[in-house]
Amino acid sequence: MSDIEYTIYDNVFQSNDKILEDLKLQLQHAGPIFNSKKNDNKRCQCNLKITKTNKDLVETLTKFIKTLNPELTPSSWVLIKSKPGCKEQLAHIDYENTEEFQKCINEGKNVPLLVLVALQPNTYIYLWKNSSKIIQETYKGEHVLPTKLELKEGEILVFRADLVHAGSDYEEENIRMHCYLDSPVVKRNKNRTYIISKHGNEYMNKNICV
């Protein structure tokens, strides 16, 4: 993907009602993950358990994302569910902005990727375009506002780890799949996020509207 911040792929996989029911059953015991400053407990996540019902889907998705960059390693898949009334997450990145991370970005090699799979229509995510340049402190434009990106059922969003993002608010229940393509040169602390307003430096907070 080089300098392209994100790409949407389609016609990679097919889901069906049986698969969705299988995944919904797994999500019954999912635990809450953060939303806004005050968590509403309406965004839930659990590790995906591979079953006879979803095995072909998982294998198809994993095989596809491995082709994006053979140097990167897919993590385990997780399921995410937003309940009706789910609030928007705070703007964040999923990797600590270390010297190691900066070097990887500046060299443009083996930059980690994030993957979001839309299993239902009206799947959304907020992205701060040009935020990768802000993290590199080379951005010279206007204050960056979030873009609410809509994914259709069956689409796969792949974006760079230096793209600031946030899970969307939802009026209706939505389930989706997520994983990482981890880099051999950048460490990811599992189950950690780095909120821009809290962990970002002065340059990031100056240029990113949160």
Residue 128 lies in a domain: yes
pLDDT for residue 129: 92
Residue 42 lies in a domain: yes
- pLDDT tens-digit profile, the chain (210 residues): 557 899 999 999 999 999 999 999 999 989 999 887 778 899 999 999 999 999 999 999 999 999 999 999 999 999 999 999 999 999 999 999 998 998 888 888 899 999 999 999 999 999 999 988 898 888 988 899 999 999 999 999 999 999 999 999 999 999 999 999 999 999 999 888 999 999 999 999 999 987
Domain that holds residue 48: 6-207
Residue 1 lies in a domain: no
- Which residues partner with 6 through β-bridges? 159
pLDDT for residue 38: 76
What phi and psi values does residue 178 have, to the nearest 5 degrees? -150, 145
3-state SS class at 165: strand
Is residue 206 within a helix (H) or strand (E), and if so which, with residue range?
helix 202-207
**Residue 125 amino acid letter:** I
CATH number at residue 195: 2.60.120.620
Residue 162 lies in a domain: yes
Residue 146 lies in a domain: yes
Residue 85 lies in a domain: yes
C-alpha 147/C-alpha 128 separation (Å) is 6
158, HSE (Cβ side, Cα atoms, 13 Å): 25
Residue 12 lies in a domain: yes
Residue 108 lies in a domain: yes
36, HSE (Cβ side, Cα atoms, 13 Å): 11
How many domains is the chain partitioned into structurally?
A: 1
What's the CA dihedral at 169, 24, 80, 112 to 10 degrees?
Answer: -140
**Length of the chain measured in residues:** 210
